[in-house]
């Protein structure tokens, strides 16, 4: 992606859910590649402000389950920089519910997961679309989905369904918005973060069955996202990053 000739010309990337884990690693990469980065979280404003200061970017707090706040996240980025080139939809929520326990997955659980994991990325893309279409090198959307949206697994049926839906929306948007805007998804399997450190069964699965014999690190996801952003011909792809587990 063209970084421009001066500081004010540099592309702008907005990464949701970017104060820890996968999101933090993903946010660091475009900054290292010369972009200006808008950091976001629903909580932990101190961490967000510190990361934004370190990256030379800006921080915005927003609850993506609230439509007005989701729209405000894009408006804040445009108000600060006047452009938006890259939209990485990383923020998501999960609720562990055994797949066989249908009654435990209440309509309220479904609504909560779909609101953040599916509807919020749609709202953000819709709000950002004019700016993405105007991006000098073409706009880019990367949705962080999940291995659970590709295979019948995951923390719960509603969670897996929300990610599978986002994978399909990725393809639909890629077809609808080309050639001005590219839309792709990265679907990680298990990623070694503080959130997953106690998931002993999942860690054992990846260590024994995945050809790479380990879960992903956040940097692995960030590397792939950076490649997707840089690849100006790639669109409509859902790229599974699971260390080869899908082969077994």
Catalytic residues: 159
List, in sequence order, every residue forming a beta bridge with 35; answer none if it has no partner.
none
Of 87, 76, 86, 90, which is closest to residue 25 (Cα–Cα)?
90
What's the CA angle centered on 22, arms 247 and 99, to 5 degrees? Answer: 55
What's the CA angle centered on 7, arms 221 and 137, to 5 degrees? Answer: 60
CA distance 219 to 242: 13
- C-beta of residue 62 within 8 angstroms of C-beta of residue 73: yes
Of 76, 72, 70, which is closest to residue 58 (Cα–Cα)?
76
Q: Which two tokens stand for residue 32?
A: 């290292």
Q: Which two tokens stand for residue 73?
A: 């996240």
């Amino acid at each position: 992606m063209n970084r421009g000739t001066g500081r004010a010309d540099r592309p702008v990337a907005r990464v949701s859910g970017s104060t820890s884990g996968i999101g933090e690693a993903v946010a660091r990469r475009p900054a290292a590649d010369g972009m200006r980065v808008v950091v976001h979280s629903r909580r932990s404003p101190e961490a967000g402000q510190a990361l934004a200061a370190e990256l030379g970017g800006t921080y915005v707090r927003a609850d993506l389950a609230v439509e007005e706040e989701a729209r405000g996240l894009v408006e804040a980025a445009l108000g600060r920089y006047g452009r938006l080139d890259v939209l990485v939809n990383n923020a998501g929520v999960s609720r562990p519910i055994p797949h066989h326990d249908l009654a435990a997955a209440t309509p309220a659980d479904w609504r909560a997961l779909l609101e953040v994991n599916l509807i919020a990325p749609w709202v953000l893309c819709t709000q950002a679309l004019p700016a993405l279409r105007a991006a000098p090198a073409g706009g880019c959307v990367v949705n962080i989905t999940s291995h659970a949206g590709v295979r019948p697994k995951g923390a719960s049926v509603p969670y897996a369904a929300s990610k599978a839906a986002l994978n399909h929306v990725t393809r639909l948007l890629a077809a609808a918005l080309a050639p001005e805007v590219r839309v792709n998804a990265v679907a990680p399997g298990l990623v070694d973060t503080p959130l997953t450190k106690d998931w002993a069964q999942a860690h054992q699965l990846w260590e024994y069955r995945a050809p790479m014999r380990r879960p992903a690190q956040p940097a692995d996801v960030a590397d792939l996202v950076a490649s997707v952003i840089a690849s100006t011909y790639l669109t409509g792809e859902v790229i599974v990053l699971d260390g080869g587990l899908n082969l077994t």
